[in-house]
């Protein structure tokens, strides 16, 4: 049987022959992991070690050439079983309890219908521990634990999520368009994100600059992009749409009438907000963070004190 279109295995459970679950609970846990593997990769088959037990019968399409495991773990100790539970699909975000550079990640995960957990940095020591553990490749957050990886660099994180959840267009050309729109949003977003950190005497100037750039440079492009379609690129939702909704809602918090001359963007906002996953995210008590306040700015300055001397 040839099934070339079968998705690549992204997760496999590798159980050493010597591993014997010592308690019924561990046996149950191991069986649960096998089910997790089956549901995530289609077979749960481990081919990478001769001493592994296949969790499902090998099939002709499951050859080393067409299987690409991104995380395999040998289980010989109960702690490792628990470690694999941690790796079995939980997405954990490490950042401040505020928007900043993590908010777009929250938006994208939410739009994709992915549940996530958050660890909030409130103390300098937490940041130092992440540094000492080697979790921060460039000594920066956001950090996202996903699919057994520790991802940093917000663009890399967003690219991964978009690629994984079919929010990145149908081909390379669509992807290039999505990237252009997303980078435009990101330039505008940078102005919005920096506003709370602007000294009081410069705030008005910063706001005027943001308004002028939004109206003259960025929003006309998105308005035009939405002229023929409800999505920015192609005929399906992409990360560019999610980022555009995020940034336009943020802009309106600071400049409530900013969209008055952009009817297509207004209509786009309403349609996007009605999507079930996004509607859930925007509900009170949802994962969306409120606008930054002084407490948030203070925490960021304390945790990243080296930047604010």
Ligand X SMILES: N[C@@H](CCC(=O)N[C@@H](CS)C(=O)NCC(=O)O)C(=O)O
Binding positions for ligand X, rule: CB under 6 A: 100-101, 139-142, 153-155, 304, 307
CB of 152 to ligand X, least distance (A): 6
Helix (H) or strand (E) holding 83: helix 78-87
What residues have CB less than 8 Å from 309, skipping those under 6 apart? none
What residues have CB less than 8 Å from 19, skipping those under 6 apart? 75, 76
Candidates 254, 175, 174, 273; CA nearest to 214 is: 254
Distances (CA, A) of 280 to 91, 110, 112, 236: 18, 8, 12, 20
CB of 181 to ligand X, least distance (A): 18
Residue with tokens 């002084």: 294
Smaller CB separation from ligand X, 154 or 182: 154
Smaller CB separation from ligand X, 74 or 140: 140
CB of 176 to ligand X, least distance (A): 20
Smaller CB separation from ligand X, 8 or 155: 155
CB of 247 to ligand X, least distance (A): 15
Helix (H, G, I), strand (E, B) or coil at 305: helix
Give buried/exposed letters for 8-46 (b at 16+ CB in 10 A, else e).
ebbbbbbbeeebebeeeebeebbeebbebbbebbbbbbb
* CA terminus-to-terminus distance, the chain: 65
d(CA 241, CA 48): 40
Smaller CB separation from ligand X, 82 or 156: 156
Helix (H, G, I), strand (E, B) or coil at 14: strand
Smaller CB separation from ligand X, 221 or 304: 304
Smaller CB separation from ligand X, 112 or 297: 297
CB of 99 to ligand X, least distance (A): 10
CB of 71 to ligand X, least distance (A): 23
């Amino acid at each position: 049987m040839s099934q070339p279109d079968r998705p690549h295995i992204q997760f496999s459970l590798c159980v050493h022959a010597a591993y014997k679950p010592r308690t019924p609970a561990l046996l149950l846990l191991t069986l649960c992991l096998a089910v997790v593997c089956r549901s995530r990769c289609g077979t749960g088959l481990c081919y990478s070690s001769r001493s592994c037990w296949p969790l499902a019968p090998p099939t002709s399409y499951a050859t080393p050439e067409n299987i690409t495991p991104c995380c395999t773990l040998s289980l010989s100790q109960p702690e490792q079983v628990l470690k694999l539970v941690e790796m079995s699909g939980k997405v954990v975000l490490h950042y401040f309890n505020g928007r900043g550079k993590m908010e777009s990640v929250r938006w994208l995960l939410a739009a994709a219908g992915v549940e996530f957990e958050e660890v909030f940095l409130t103390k300098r020591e937490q940041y130092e521990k992440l540094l000492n553990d080697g979790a921060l490749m460039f000594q920066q957050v956001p950090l996202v634990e996903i699919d057994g990886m520790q991802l940093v660099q917000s663009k890399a994180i967003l690219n991964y999520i978009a690629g994984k959840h079919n929010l990145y267009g149908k081909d390379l050309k669509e992807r290039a368009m999505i990237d252009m729109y997303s980078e435009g949003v990101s330039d505008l977003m940078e102005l919005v994100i920096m506003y709370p950190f602007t000294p009081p005497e410069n705030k008005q100037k910063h706001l005027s600059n943001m308004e002028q750039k939004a109206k003259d440079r960025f929003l006309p492009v998105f308005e035009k992009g939405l002229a023929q379609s409800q999505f920015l690129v192609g005929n399906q939702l992409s990360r560019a749409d999610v980022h555009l909704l995020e940034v336009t809602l943020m802009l309106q918090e600071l400049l409530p009438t900013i969209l008055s001359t952009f009817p297509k963007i207004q209509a786009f906002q309403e349609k996007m907000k009605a999507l079930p996953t996004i509607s859930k995210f925007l509900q009170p008590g949802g994962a969306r963070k409120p606008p930054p306040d002084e407490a948030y700015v203070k925490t960021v300055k304390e945790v990243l004190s080296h930047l604010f001397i």
